[in-house]
Chains A and B, each alone.
Chain A
Amino acid sequence: MTTQPWSERPEEEANLLNPAFCSLLIRSAARDYRSATKTSLPFALSFLILPVVLHKPTRDALPSTTATLMTAWAVANPAVLAGFGQRAQRFVESTREAILFGAGHGWLKFTGPGLIAGPKRLGGDPANLPSNTAEVGSCFAASRLLGRWLASAGTTATVMSIWGVAP
């Protein structure tokens, strides 16, 4: 794995995909996943968070409530799912980096085969910082929804095959 040093990344990409923000997104998804299932967010599913939440068309297409079943939603949104596999591949390194970063800061914690929110947090849950823009707010809202939504969607294999990705 070759992760580019921070200083050598394109500025826009470095800021948008900065590991702190990304790991807080994963943390909020893991937190809501756990509150719904009492179990940790499976490691493989944590790689779905960023490509869904940070891709605006996908985020905007998310349902307003988890009462909408994921399988039913997927059938109704072929456009969103069409390119998801490729997008998810592009987010793999960012996700890995975010998880390591989050684990290092105590924002994320490994238990068994999955992730839970760590004991430390940053300005509330989800992080409520003065610098939060409306867009950041909607990213956090989406990641929490996704956490609860994944909780009710079926086995990890079913979920991944619905989104068209494999480990």
Chain B
Amino acid sequence: MTLRLWKIVVYGHRGQARIVKFNPHGLSIITGASKTGKSSLIDIVDYCTGRDTCNVADGVIRRAVSWYGVLFDRGDTRIFVARRNPPPGETRNPEAYLEVGGDVDVPDHATLTKNITVEALEAYLTSTAGISENVHQPPEGQTRAPLTANFRHALLFSFQDQDEIDSRKVLFHRQGEPFIPQTIKDVLPYFLGAVDEEHLRKQAELDQARKELRKLERLAAEKEEVETLVSSRTADIYREAQVAGFLPEGDVPPPSEAIASLRSIGAAEAAEREPDLDGVQAELQTERARLRSQLSAVREELRQVRQVEELAGGYLDEVLEQRSRLAPLGLLPKGAQDVNACALCGTSLDAPIPTVAELTASLKDLDGQLRTVKREMPRLQALQADLFQRRGGIEAALSENQRLINEHVAKAEQARAERDSRLHRARTSGRITYFLETVRSGNGPSDLETRLVAARERTNALLSLLDPDEVRERLTSFVNIVGEYMTVYSARLDLEHSGSRLRLDLRNLAVVADTPDGPVPLQRMGSGENWVGYHVLAHLALHKWFRQKERPVPAFLIFDQPSQAHYPPERDVEGNVNILGDADREAVYRLFRLMADVAKELTPGFQIIVIDHADLKDDWFADAVVERWRGGQALVPTDWLDQ
């Protein structure tokens, strides 16, 4: 369930509110004359959802309005966002207001106050629309920064303003602005669903697995190197031990036996000595205790984070499950219908105290507001990645600490041996110890082989999950499906390349028709009628895909003046299309009929909002009209500017 547009509101300077309400599903049409504020609607939604600048054109609206607001419906939760209109001559204002609840409606002007920053508003909407934590890493060799798809990006696919819808060069909203085309290309794989929702977490796991693998590989290399050295040096050391009287006379046995014999001396010698626990040793132990407690704190934090995710349905589930019920505090006494029940102590009262009745009433009210509200999962993937890294760091520090302790014990032993009167024996013993030390460190963990194999498998498994080729393959297949939808819908319109296979060209962000004479991109097609038609087809097909896959793209699509190729504003006479020739009238009809049918096909849960001059007389059209702005009717009532 993702966001639908329910109401757009503008507030006057004297606290008046003008509300435009849309049909909850299917087609909504606002028809009217020029200069009534129709085209501002897209700019208002754009601004209220966090666009830096307010692009509502200078004029009546900018002068008469104090705040713009938009009420979204997510099915379980309603979200009202508002932003203050920048004063004349300015394009931005930091004041934004957010209200969330189960049955929130457009609030009074007096309620509006700054309670959220524009950045936080964008982050909130991103999360509330169900956009999971994601990041697009540009391919190696490209210098642009990684990009995280957010709500603002999702909106790029929801708007077609009047200059875009008939453009031969620009397919998507704001595609003509600098950097936006690259951004669209970067975020589209995510919105189409070709990128794994768990990408960020898996990337962190992969980094960790690679680190572990490198460590094991280094140990394995050392081990190999030492093993070749060992066989030649073992005999020398063995003989030295014989000379010193540690071992009986005789031939040198094979290396493995010889090392075992040498080890037995080491152990015997060590047993004779008391461990030398001086200050350094104590320091190392303190450090160890500190690291251990850090480690358990990080582990506990990770455990808690995982637990929260599991409560929300398990982090392996689909993105739509990444939402949990609000935690009920149980403030309402059981059987809250009982007015005699006390919200304070939970018991039943013989005679209700007025305050208690009031408390219970206000709690019930609040409960009603919040009953259906679902809570977004906090954004925990990045947090976990960070915790993984900290855990890895502490574990590495711990093993380094262990190594230092071992080394220190060995050194202390050796120092003691040096002090010993049996200097020669001691020296030899030291050499043996050192030799054994190298042998041991070369040996590494006894299960090195198995761990190495496991680490390789794990790394490869994660790599294949994150494989850019797989993403590309999925993307190609999804784009083909969208192209199929476009081709099917195109049969409904009489366009230049009707009957050809249509597809989206992601490299150039354009629609291409594959004809027997070769591919024809939108840019090379003629006439405004085709341009508008292919824009509408592309967006309808994309949104059909978004809805089928339940992708976190807002479930509304706004077209501004799709009829302009046939019914230009200068020919507008009260919205009447009968003044047009048969062909044009027929084309306008077909276009609206297609939009109405697709809106119905994807209902419930999908809206198409059309802003246009045309006003068809058919019932299905009239039923979809939510506002008719003619004869003094407009977005901003005329008396708002009267002083």
Contact = CB atoms under 8 A, between A and B. Distances in A.
A113 interface: yes
A72 to B, nearest CB: 3
Contacts of B104: 157
A30 interface: no
Contacts of B331: 43-44, 47, 92, 167
Given A113-B359, A153-B115, A79 B383 contact: yes
B346 interface: yes
Contacts of B367: 166-167
B370 A167 contact: yes
Interface stretch (A4-12, A83-91, A118-126): A83-91
Interface string B335-361: 000000001111100000001001101
Nearest to B373: A161
Contact of B380 (A43, A75, A82, A152): A82
A89 B373 contact: no
Interface in A64-114: 69-72, 74-76, 78-79, 81-86, 88-89, 92, 96, 99-100, 110-114
B99 interface: yes
B57 interface: no
Contacts of B380: 78-79, 82
A161 B332 contact: no
A110 B355 contact: yes
B344 A96 contact: yes
A71 B114 CA distance: 11
A129 B166 CA distance: 74
Contacts of A86: 327
Interface stretch (B63-71, B116-124, B184-192): B116-124
A75 B120 CA distance: 6
A70 B115 contact: yes
Interface in B376-430: 378-380, 383
A41 to B, nearest CB: 12
B141 to A, nearest CB: 33
A42 interface: yes
Chain B, interface size category, equals 35 or more
Interface in B143-170: none
A98 to B, nearest CB: 11
Interface in B293-347: 301, 304-305, 307-308, 324-332, 343-347
A88 B375 CA distance: 15
Interface string A130-167: 00000000000000000000001111111011101111
Given A161-B373, A167-B363, A69 B116 contact: yes
B547 interface: no
A71 B115 contact: yes
B219 interface: no
Contacts of B97: 154
A164 B327 contact: yes
A71 B120 CA distance: 7
Given A161-B370, A166-B371, A82 B358 contact: no
Contact of B305 (A74, A79, A111, A160): A79
Nearest to B382: A78
Contacts of A43: 331, 343, 359, 362-363
B527 interface: no
| Most chain B CB within a 10 A radius of its CB, from A42, A79, A157 | A157
B326 A164 contact: yes
B633 interface: no
Given A44-B331, A44-B366, A69 B117 contact: yes
B326 A161 contact: yes
Contacts of A153: 115
Contacts of A81: 378
B114 A69 contact: yes
B175 interface: no
A82 B304 contact: yes
A92 B330 contact: yes
Nearest to B121: A71
B378 A85 contact: no
A34 to B, nearest CB: 17
Given A69-B116, A96-B345, A154-B99, A113 B327 contact: no
B520 interface: no
Contacts of A88: 327, 329
A155 B379 CA distance: 23
B315 to A, nearest CB: 12
Contact of B344 (A78, A99, A111, A157): A99
Nearest to B118: A72
A1 interface: yes
Interface in B253-288: none
B552 interface: no
A157 B369 contact: yes
Interface in B15-45: none
Nearest to A109: B355
Contacts of B102: 157
A165 B101 contact: no
A162 B370 CA distance: 11
A146 to B, nearest CB: 15
Contacts of A154: 97-99, 115
| Most chain A CB within a 10 A radius of its CB, from B115, B121, B305 | B115
B329 A92 contact: yes
B385 to A, nearest CB: 12
A84 B371 CA distance: 18
B322 to A, nearest CB: 12
Given A42-B362, A85-B327, A72 B117 contact: yes
A72 B116 contact: yes
Nearest to A51: B329
| Most chain A CB within a 10 A radius of its CB, from B327, B369, B375 | B327
B593 to A, nearest CB: 41
Contacts of B344: 96, 99-100
Contact of B120 (A72, A92, A167): A72
25 contacts: A47-B329, A69-B114, A69-B116, A71-B116, A71-B121, A72-B119, A72-B120, A74-B120, A75-B124, A75-B127, A76-B120, A82-B380, A92-B329, A92-B331, A96-B345, A110-B355, A152-B115, A155-B101, A157-B99, A157-B100, A157-B366, A161-B370, A161-B375, A166-B329, A166-B367
What 6 A-B pairs have minimum CB-CB distances, sorted nearest first?
A85-B327, A72-B120, A78-B378, A113-B362, A157-B101, A1-B346
Given A44-B362, A82-B308, 8 more contacts: A69-B115, A78-B378, A79-B380, A92-B330, A96-B344, A113-B362, A157-B99, A164-B326
Interface of A: 1, 42-44, 47, 69-72, 74-76, 78-79, 81-86, 88-89, 92, 96, 99-100, 110-114, 152-158, 160-162, 164-167
